[in-house]
Chain A
């Protein structure tokens, strides 16, 4: 049997908090989140970069947790679906997904939400073509993407319509 190397102890900047965790050094961020940190919101559908279900944000950029080695993350901030809502309020993309019916089975949803959060936060109002391009790394088998695109457009409109302070 291959000898399992000793566990690595790391502190992650996870959803705005410092979290300490010991895990096998050959584990991906996906495995550590789900198995060692109990954050099962991040899903997996291939573990090979083929589906986008495991998308999380590192440094506010969407990446695939299944191909990120956990020990390589270091102190870069990680955001997962569990960290989207703040102070008891949903993130605009979460609210829009719920309202538009953008989650059917909901299995691809956390991955889409993370991609969506990054793009609505970092861009002005998004058009349909921008959204289609931005979510082209996330597969969904239920929705035909229609309501997902609608929801992201709605969230983007709302975020960039909102009056300052309102």
Chain B
């Protein structure tokens, strides 16, 4: 490997490395493994593949390690102005007056905009448009945007904010789920149909629920509270907007969803869609926090148009906390009926979501707190009641695991209690009730490939779960949990019959291949995924493929990097586009080689006869022959999921063309005097379908495990006097290298029939089991359970005191006053 470190910067290539495994592991830390479930194959690249399955450096790795990668805030344009937003300093008020006269008079200030300039209401979900770019007559949380100033420099813009005169008429603030359900507090959004602050209610029943509970030998009822938390990507949201002389507006924006910004910018700025272009440069982490158009982006667009000069707005860290759209705080009541062998007969799940001030994706989130309950274990009868409320806090939305993370915590904790109560081994029990591949759930969700049992086996045997569980000394514990997740939502968020993803593959005469796709690489490696799929299909080196992504002018639509849809959907589109190109190359090459097209193989930049590999053309010769024969070589592909939704209201949330599966085993060591939890190791096995790039899949698993650790132990969402208490990265605790344990990522491959090369997803699914696995490990260590996240040292001490019969009782989440009916 030594020669690779001497690699010349100009000739980065993987073609010289025949087995493609360019990633040496330092011996001490080689803790990764790939296991393939039936049909079992030896670890390593699947047979016949040269790029898919290879742990290659990503195509953009070298740009990232040299500082060359240009993120949105790294873009500086001539004449650029800098914008700052004035934000509400009260949680709830009528806005009586916003006067920018003094701000505009400040030398260096170029323009100002307020809510009145942009009155169009919008929302990421067409069914709940409750936002305007800036407040018009009401502010709804501390941080709600009121006005935007652009100036020659950022300090001047900031100073101008202090010169804007705002008059508020304060209203009582609604700061909790309980308060939101009350009828004597003001409504945050006028809603004549209701008398409280409920935004969305869902009530669904599948199967014979009453009969199921009647049939049960034991019924378990528990309450849990999952606190909110936020994505905290290290890159603060940034946008540069430029309105050209041609009347066209271009955004360079740190967005996971360029297509949605395109749509909503056109709508809100009242421009034809053909005059709006959104470019997503590389994104410095998203995790769901950059999946919808933000006020500062639309304001930048408006002010770029108004001033004719480029406008940049980069949020401060505090503003990132206000932009939020993160994990909803959710209260749960879970009632599960089981036979004495643990077989589930019925389940009733109730969730109350604290949504913050706007709808965001909240309607979908509400459904998601119930929809996937049935996709992990067999549940023959299921009732779900969900309720999302408005509160005067930054709006919540999707964070990695969108809406499914919280109920998975509640359900897996309860499942452990059931296993304990019935004297069952928690792993064997889970395997027994795990869903079977190629079945349909009681709520009509189609399950295809499923490696859940393999995940459980792999995680358990890698850790010695069965021999350790219940037998470790007090203070040390081991816990398991399992989960499932989507590979993209079956339906788009705005109804339409078009594909969810499209791709174009183009070949140039020098043998270069470009794939155009609307995806936005947020760090998950979608650029590499596209390049790998195209390279594999065309038999070229992955570094021969240039990825042109996330540009609404140049690339076909991809709905965006959310809901773990990109590998499955954009991957399938890119595969189809590449196959189109391949057909023409093969046809032309077959003719030149004088063989049947079926005998042509493409690999290592060659097109050759499989029976006589020496009869070959270079890829360039073959591509040129194809161009001569057929004209310009461009292939297109697109992906639309099969029709999956069942026939009931709300059935649109939950269906997915495939589900990924994961299991986690957590090992913890608790200091019984301080309550401090040390997670010693996290082992996560994940059924990814097929690992297009195992190094990237491991990276997703490791990152998910880390993020789950933070949510389980330290990340919280506290408010005091109407304000977020800790809107900074010092007080909002994200784990450092010292709290993060070694993470063992185990890849399980099930080769999904519909996924590109068998792939499913790995970006979100592996997070879900981590939080309950840690909670279950803590319970194992203490013989006592904490019923809310984060599991802080203080809660642990209280749980221990309570278990010891001490005076301090563990405070379970307060019962919710009004149950949704």
Contact residues in A for B55 (Cβ distance below 8 Å): 101
CB nearest to B700 among chain A residues:
A104
Residue A123 at the B interface, CB < 8 A? no
A88-B9, A142-B285 are contacts. A1–B159 as well, Cβ < 8 Å? yes
B496 at interface (Cβ–Cβ under 8 A)? no
Given the complex of chains A and B, what is the CA–CA distance between A133 and B740 in angstroms? 12
Q: A162 to B2: give the CA distance in the assembly, Å.
A: 9
For B67, list chain A residues within 8 Å (CB): 39-42, 80-82, 110
Q: Is A22 an interface residue (CB 8 A)?
A: no
User: Is the C-beta of B43 less than 8 angstroms from some C-beta in chain A?
Assistant: no
Cβ contact of B317, chosen from A46, A99, A145, A150, cutoff 8 A = A46
- What is the bound-complex CA distance between A92 and B4, given in angstroms? 10
User: CA–CA, A35 to B314, complex, Å?
Assistant: 14
Task: Pick the residue among B70, B74, B524 that contacts A104 (CB under 8 A).
Answer: B524
B28 partner residues in chain A, CB cutoff 8 A: 127-128, 153
Question: Does B23 lie within 8 Å of A146, measured CB to CB?
Answer: no
Report the Cα distance A140→B159, complex, angstroms.
32
Determine if B737 and A136 form an interchain contact, defined as CB atoms under 8 angstroms apart.
yes
CB-based nearest B residue for A155: B5
Q: Residues 255-289 of chain B: 1 if any A CB is under 8 Å from the residue's CB, otherwise 0?
A: 00000000000000000000000000011111100
A47 touches B317 (CB 8 A): yes
Q: Is A98 an interface residue (CB 8 A)?
A: yes
Q: How far is the CA of A139 from the CA of B524 in the complex (A)?
A: 17
Interface residue A68 (Cβ < 8 Å from any Cβ of B): no
- Answer yes or no: A48 CB below 8 A from chain B CBs: yes
Query: How does the 8 Å CB contact mask read for B232-245 relative to A, with 1 for contact and 0 for none?
Result: 11111000000000
Cβ contact of A94, chosen from B22, B65, B107, B698, cutoff 8 A: B65
Chain A stretch 1-27: residues in CB contact (< 8 A) with chain B: 1-2
Indicate whether A105 sits within 8 Å of B233 (C-beta atoms), given known contacts A43-B71, A50-B730.
Answer: yes
In the complex with contacts A53-B234, A101-B55, A144-B71 CB distance below 8 A: no
Interface flag for B29 (CB, 8 Å): yes
Within 8 A of A (CB), among B639-691: none
A-binding segment of B385-393, B431-439, B702-710: B702-710
A100 touches B317 (CB 8 A): no
Chain A neighbourhood of B707, CB < 8 A: 141, 144
Q: Which residues of A contact B408 (CB under 8 A)?
A: none
A84 within 8 A of B: yes
Chain B interface category by residue count: 35 or more
Interface presence of B69 (CB below 8 A): yes
Chain A nearest CB, measured from B621 CB (Å): 31
B1-42 toward A: CB 8 Å interface, digit per residue (1/0)? Answer: 010111111100000000000111110110000000000000
| Number of residues from A at the complex interface, CB < 8 A | 71
Interface residue stretch chosen among B56-64, B220-228, B804-812:
B56-64
- In angstroms, Cα B106 to Cα A2, docked, is 10
Chain A residues, Cβ within 8 Å of B9 = 85, 88-90
| Total cross-chain contacts (CB, 8 A) | 222
The closest CB in chain A to the CB of B30 belongs to A150
Q: Does A55 contact B (CB under 8 A)?
A: no
Report which of A39, A45, A98, A162 forms a contact with B62, defined as CB distance below 8 A.
A98
CB closest chain-B residue, reference A26: B155
Closest Cβ–Cβ distance, residue A87 to chain B (whole Å): 9
State A162–B451 Cα separation when bound (angstroms).
Answer: 44
Shortest B615–chain A CB gap in Å is 36
Contact between A105 and B696, CB atoms less than 8 A apart? no
Closest to B738 in A: A136
**Smallest Cβ distance from B108 to chain A, in angstroms?**
7
Complex contact A99–B738 (CB within 8 A)? no
Q: Which residues of A contact B734 (CB under 8 A)?
A: 139, 141
The answer to whether A143 and B106 touch (CB under 8 A), given A46-B317, A101-B55, is: no
- CB pair B159–A105 under 8 Å, yes or no, is no
For the complex of A and B, the 6 pairs showing the least CB-CB separation, nearest first, are A41-B67, A105-B523, A107-B284, A144-B706, A106-B64, A81-B67
Query: Once the chains bind, are A107 and B743 in contact (CB under 8 Å)?
Result: no
Task: Check A149–B737 contact: CB distance below 8 A.
Answer: yes
For the residues of A in contact with B, the DSSP-based class is loop
- CB closest residue in chain A, given B732: A50
Q: Which residues of B contact A32 (CB under 8 A)?
A: none
> Judging by beta carbons under 8 Å apart, are A135 and B2 in contact?
no
Known pairs A51-B234, A101-B699, A132-B737; A142 contacts B523 (CB<8 A)? yes
9 new A-B contacts at CB < 8 Å, known A81-B66, A98-B57, A100-B25:
A38-B76, A41-B68, A43-B284, A105-B234, A105-B286, A105-B523, A141-B287, A144-B702, A144-B703
Whether A43 touches B235, Cβ cut-off 8 Å, given contacts A89-B9, A106-B282, is yes
- Tell me if A28 is interfacial: C-beta within 8 Å of chain B: no
B695, CB-defined interface residue at 8 Å = yes
- A95 interface residue (CB < 8 Å to B): yes
| B residues whose Cβ falls under 8 Å from a Cβ of A | 2, 4-10, 22-26, 28-29, 55, 57-58, 60-71, 73-74, 76, 106-108, 156, 159, 231-236, 282-287, 316-317, 522-525, 695-696, 698-699, 702-707, 728-730, 734, 736-738, 740, 742-743, 745
Q: Which residues of B contact A136 (CB under 8 A)?
A: 736-738
Q: A107–B23 contact, CB under 8 A? A: no
Closest CB in chain A relative to B708 CB, distance in Å: 10
What are 22 A-to-B residue pairs whose CB atoms are below 8 Å?
A: A39-B67, A40-B74, A43-B71, A45-B235, A47-B316, A48-B729, A88-B10, A89-B7, A89-B9, A90-B5, A94-B65, A103-B58, A105-B523, A106-B60, A109-B65, A132-B737, A132-B738, A139-B734, A141-B233, A145-B740, A150-B29, A153-B28
Contact present for A97 and B107 (CB under 8 Å): no
Shortest distance in angstroms between B425's beta carbon and chain A's nearest beta carbon? 29
CB distance from B61 to the nearest CB of A (A): 4
In the complex formed, the residue of A with least CB distance to B55 is A101
Q: In chain A, what residue has the closest Cβ to B32? A: A146
Query: Contact check: which of A40, A47, A144 meets B743 at CB < 8 Å?
Result: A144
Does A92 contact B5, Cβ atoms closer than 8 Å? yes
- A154 an interface residue at 8 Å Cβ cutoff? yes
CA distance in complex: A144, B695 (Å)? 13
Which A140-166 residues sit within 8 Å CB-CB of chain B?
140-150, 153-154, 157-158, 162
Residues of A within 8 A of B745 (CB): 146
Q: Tell me the smallest distance from the CB of B3 to a CB of chain A, in Å.
A: 11
The answer on a CB contact under 8 Å between B706 and A100 is no
Contacts of B57 in A (CB 8 A): 98-99, 101
B7 touches A90 (CB 8 A): yes
With A45-B729, A89-B6, A105-B235: A100-B695 Cβ-Cβ less than 8 Å: yes
In the bound assembly, the distance between CA atoms of A76 and B7 in angstroms comes to: 31
User: Nearest chain B CB to A45's CB is how many angstroms away?
Assistant: 4
